[in-house]
């Protein structure tokens, strides 16, 4: 399996985020991608290759064009306002406030284009966002050109980013852009299988009304876990997309028995849908010692995920999402890939 990876991800580092307990160093940090890359090399998964530069035109189709245009302007505007350090929103247009008029000042714009204070900016953040998008589309092209599988080692991740908002460490939705690339290349139907601990709210929102993309999410119950406001089992899509959105919320403490059952249910739905390709949002924050998650999967469970996906016998693109127990992230993420290859 070929891996696409860009060292430019490291330019997004040293930032902070707002959590329930205060402002802390970001859990989503450069070490994550470097440890995964090292593990890919250690197990000899296959070649690691740089991405090719991609036009943002596809991103502007998946996302609102004004949102994409805003992202490279964030840190320059932050500096123009006399600020230093991490650019972070602190106010949002919630119920009862206007969300149809973008403010002019950077503080207002950050809130207008986000849903939390987790997708923040330092000087090199845009370079990392752009390179992550390049990685996703380059890997999607490998699958479109006939590869049975490819790995997009994306950082920052993308599945919390919606059509016109960022959040949860995510800016451009890499998986959603990869799906669109596969459709543009001739696929009639694509399934997204999101196995991250947190619900892929952005991916769900982007494809909510579409029948050519099936979205299946396995995640912690939003009644008690981030992102809280999306991911319930009764969310099935709307209009032409009705029935093509699937959610499998699970309680704190979920271990392999329950997670594996949900995965099997989701995979059966994917098989019934009959996609031409599958895009896996590969989060491994389901791990038992992940610092911001509460599932109980063990390292030996991740190859089982890969083997179950391989049983679908569809061209598959793996796109890296979450996972914050940094010491084990390489073993767990690459475990999914070797489980897929071994099957």
Catalytic residues: 160
Residues paired with 280 in a beta bridge: 193, 318
Tally the residues of the chain: 343
- Is the torsion defined by CA of 54, 56, 60, 63 positive or negative? positive
Residue 198 tokens read as 């947190």
Candidates 5, 72, 62, 4; CA nearest to 34 is 5
Helix (H, G, I), strand (E, B) or coil at 206: helix
Q: How far apart are the first and last CA of the chain?
A: 13
Distances (CA, A) of 73 to 79, 125, 223, 230: 10, 11, 35, 29
Cα separation, 168 vs 296, in Å, equals 21
Candidates 88, 59, 299, 86; CA nearest to 162 is 59
Strands (E), the chain: 2-4, 16-19, 22-25, 48-49, 149-152, 190-194, 213-220, 245-250, 277-282, 316-320
Distances (CA, A) of 271 to 26, 146, 234, 266, 284: 38, 20, 21, 9, 23
């Amino acid at each position: 399996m070929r891996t696409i990876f860009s060292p430019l991800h490291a330019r997004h580092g040293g930032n902070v985020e707002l959590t329930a307990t205060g402002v802390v160093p970001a859990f989503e940090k450069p070490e994550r991608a470097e440890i995964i890359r090292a593990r890919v090399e250690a197990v000899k998964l296959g070649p690691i290759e740089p991405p090719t530069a991609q036009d943002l035109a596809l991103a502007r189709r998946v996302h609102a064009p004004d949102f994409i245009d805003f992202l490279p302007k964030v840190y320059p505007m932050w500096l123009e306002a006399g600020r230093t350090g991490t650019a972070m929103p602190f106010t949002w247009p919630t119920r009862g406030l206007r969300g149809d008029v973008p403010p002019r000042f950077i503080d207002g714009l950050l809130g207008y284009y986000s849903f939390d204070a987790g997708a923040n900016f330092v000087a090199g953040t845009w370079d990392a966002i752009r390179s992550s998008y390049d990685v996703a589309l380059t890997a999607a092209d490998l699958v479109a050109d006939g590869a049975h599988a490819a790995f997009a080692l994306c950082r920052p991740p993308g599945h919390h980013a919606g059509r016109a908002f960022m959040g949860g460490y995510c800016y451009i939705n890499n998986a959603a852009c990869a799906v669109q690339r596969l459709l543009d290349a001739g696929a009639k139907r694509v399934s997204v299988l999101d196995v991250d601990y947190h619900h892929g709210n952005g991916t769900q929102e982007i494809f909510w009304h579409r029948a050519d993309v099936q979205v299946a999410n396995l995640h912690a119950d939003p009644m008690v876990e981030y992102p809280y406001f999306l991911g319930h089992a009764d969310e099935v899509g709307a209009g032409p997309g009705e029935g093509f959105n699937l959610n499998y919320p699970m309680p704190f403490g979920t271990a392999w028995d329950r997670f594996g059952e949900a995965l099997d249910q989701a995979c059966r739905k994917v098989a019934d849908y009959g996609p031409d390709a599958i895009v896996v949002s590969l989060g491994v924050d389901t791990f038992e010692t992940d610092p911001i998650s509460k599932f109980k999967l063990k390292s030996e469970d991740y190859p089982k995920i890969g083997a179950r996906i391989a049983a679908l016998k569809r061209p598959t693109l793996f796109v890296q999402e979450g996972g914050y127990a940094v010491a084990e992230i390489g073993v767990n993420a690459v475990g999914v890939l070797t489980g897929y290859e071994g099957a």
